[in-house]
Amino acid sequence: MKSAKESGDGGAGQVLVEEKRFARILTLNRPRQLNALSFQMITELLKHFTANEEDPKVKLLILKGKGRAFCAGGDVAEVAHSINEGHWTNGANFFWNEFRLNYLIATYSKPQVSLLDGIVMGGGAGVSIHGRFRVATDKTVFAMPETALGLFPDIGSSYFLSRLPGFFGEYVGLTGARLNGAEMLACGLATHFVPSGRLTALEESLTKIGSSDPFAVCAVIDKYSEQLPLKETSAFNRLDVIDKCFSKNSVEEILSALEQEAVNNTEWILAAVQSLKKASPLSLKISLRSIREGRLQSIGQCLTKDYRICCHILRKEASKDFFEWEPSRLELIDDAMVDRYFSKVDDQGWEDLKLPTRQGPGVKLGSKL
């Protein structure tokens, strides 16, 4: 196994690379930080994904995490520190590279198999859900917790959240609800469910596939996969209630509808209400609009939108919400304030996210859900 450090670059072993037969196995290697994506790690992943797509000897990529997390998101602490030490553009540079990586994965011409054996949050979803195969396990915990942090579900998530059944994507994106492996499989975020104890055998079988044919890869994963029933208390079992509430036009109306349903004291509804009341009001309004727009946008358009919103947040223009909790109530946020986050940034030298041209017979531009 070769580490990034051993490759002679500055990756410091944050991405481990194993060349095994027809496969390349990339392991996120920051276990103490739950494999949170650092700038170094993103740079390293961009390099490896690009090189392996061009290498005819490589037929597929396997992505996994070391320790108890696949990837718990982007390293927000690193971003905040870089801003405090310098300029908001330091943070913008982080997201510029992260979103280009997300786009590369979403349009990748070779199968990517992500082994989601542990925590998958935020940026971790960005490097996996856009890929062809997402294998959940009995240890998987998925969430998009950004609204509780004064942020919003970025990494192009408005593209895949908006394509989940009904309005389940709004529920997941606004409340930060945690999903287990069975729920990921049921809603389409995962393509397969494989018990954690069988992943080593699955990985070995995948390395023997001498083809980039996704049907061949799928057939191998199918041999190890199981159909797992949802728990009776799973919110996905009440998609009718979720659709009734989260189809409303505003966050205020969604919250009101949930509170009316909460008279039945259903645990997941009460949890959703509490999550929305604790979350950043501005983040909720930005997130709802972003997911709604995502229904009619391409993955490239979603990522370009995300970059704009991130830059506005980093500049603390309309609010200091990334750093402080304001405005503190939903009714204090008007449409004009939300509109500002979706507009171009008025700053000399700023430019919209530039995504590489991706074309060719193997490049996939459609949804992989």
CB crowding 203-223: b at 16 or more within 10 Å, else e: beebbebeebeeeebbebbee
> Which residues neighbour 168 within 8 Å (Cβ) at sequence distance 6 or greater?
187, 236, 239, 242, 246
Q: What tens digit of pLDDT does each residue of 342-366 get?
A: 999 998 889 999 998 886 444 555 5
pLDDT at 332 over 50: yes
Catalytic residue IDs:
74, 123, 146, 154
Q: How much is the average pLDDT of 239-252?
A: 97
Q: What tens digit of pLDDT does each residue of 280-310 get?
A: 999 999 999 999 999 999 999 999 999 999 9
Residue 23, strand partner residues: 20, 60
In angstroms, the CA 293 to CA 302 distance is: 8
Q: What tens digit of pLDDT does each residue of 307-330 get?
A: 999 999 988 776 665 556 778 899
Q: What tens digit of pLDDT does each residue of 108-121 get?
A: 999 999 999 999 99
Q: How much is the average pLDDT of 145-157?
A: 95
In angstroms, the CA 323 to CA 69 distance is: 26
Give the pLDDT score at 7: 37
Q: Look up residue 79 and give its two tokens.
A: 């971003």
In angstroms, the CA 192 to CA 1 distance is: 27
Q: Name which of 115, 15, 101, 20 is nearest 59 in CA terms.
A: 20
